[in-house]
Amino acid sequence: MIKLRNVSKIYPNGARALQNINLEIAKGEFVFLVGSSGAGKSTLIKLLYREETATRGQVLINNTNLGRINNHLIPMIRRNIGVVFQDFKLLPKKTVFENVAFALQVIGKDRKNIKENTLNMLELVGLSNKVNVFPTELSGGEQQRVCVARALVNSPSLLIADEPTGNLDVDTAWGIMNLLDKINKYGTTIVMATHALHIVEQMNRRVIRVEEGKITEDRVEEAFRVGF
């Protein structure tokens, strides 16, 4: 699904964000990306949805080299990737329904299809009763569930989450994690960057640690424990 070969990223200001990263993530995996702030997690995530391009090396998603594709094909790549952020990025002037439906409107689906898929998705994330509410009237956890719904409504094969629980309290965070777990069981590959080590511990999935732009740890063990 995802392959990174000898990937380095140097920003125009000279900052070396990633150095010689080699990584493979299979379809259906649930992978945590951990590491201190500024270690390169976000850069790595941005490479995956083609917000940034690698300075050296190859980023392949479903065998498509993201560094080689034409700019006008980027939207096509994005349609197969759902993205969830710490700060939600919801449109405040659109209702919950409209925010989710937006992802289908922009790819040219017809109204019937949009309505059906959006309502199904909102049911999956447990927001059937908040369909016509505006984001500002929702709790943080509810807002993040709207984001997850939006990211998944056009059935992408990959979900990327950049600290999705960063702004949520522990209970709400677990609500989101259970939701992601459920989605992963339906077959969506998930890559999630996080600082929440208690979540990483309990979820017991593959963990990739990035420090100073390099992968320092890649563990699949069940008994993963934070060593320090």
Partner 1 sequence: MDFNSSRYILRQGFVSLKRNIWLSLTSILTVTISIVLLGSSIIFLANIESIAKTLESQLQIGVFLDDQLLNTQITDIQNEIKGISGVSTVTFTSKEQAIVDFQKSLRITSLLEDLDGVNPLPDKITIVANNPNLVQGIAAQVQKISGVGDVSYGHGILEKLIAFTNWLRWIGVAVVAVFGFASLLLISLSIKTNVYSRGKEIQIMRLVGASNSLVRWPFIIEGLIIGLLGALIAMIIIGFSFFWLQHSILGSLAFIPVVTGLQFILQVLAVMLLTAMIMGALASVFSVRKFLHF
Applying CB under 8 A, the residues found at the interface with partner 1 are 49-50, 71-72, 74-80, 83, 89, 91, 93, 102-103, 105-111, 150, 154
Q: Give the CA-trace dihedral at 45, 51, 57, 63, to 10 degrees.
A: 80
Min dist CB 210 to partner 1, Å, is 22
Q: Judging by DSSP bridges, how do beta strands 16-25 and 64-65 pair with one another? A: unpaired
Partners of 140 in the β-ladder:
none
Q: Which is nearer to partner 1, 100 or 200 (CB)?
A: 100
Min dist CB 78 to partner 1, Å, is 4
Q: Which of 20, 18, 21, 2 is nearest to 10 (CA)?
A: 18
Min dist CB 51 to partner 1, Å, is 8
What is the separation of C-alpha 158 from the centre of its chain, rounded to a whole number of angstroms? 8
Contacts of 46 (CB under 8 A, 6+ apart): 52
- Helices of type H across 79-167: 96-105, 111-124, 140-152
Min dist CB 216 to partner 1, Å, is 29
Q: Which is nearer to partner 1, 67 or 140 (CB)?
A: 67
Q: Which is nearer to partner 1, 110 or 221 (CB)?
A: 110
Q: Which is nearer to partner 1, 46 or 214 (CB)?
A: 46
Min dist CB 104 to partner 1, Å, is 9
Sign of dihedral through CA atoms 154, 62, 164, 55? Answer: negative
Q: Which is nearer to partner 1, 74 or 119 (CB)?
A: 74
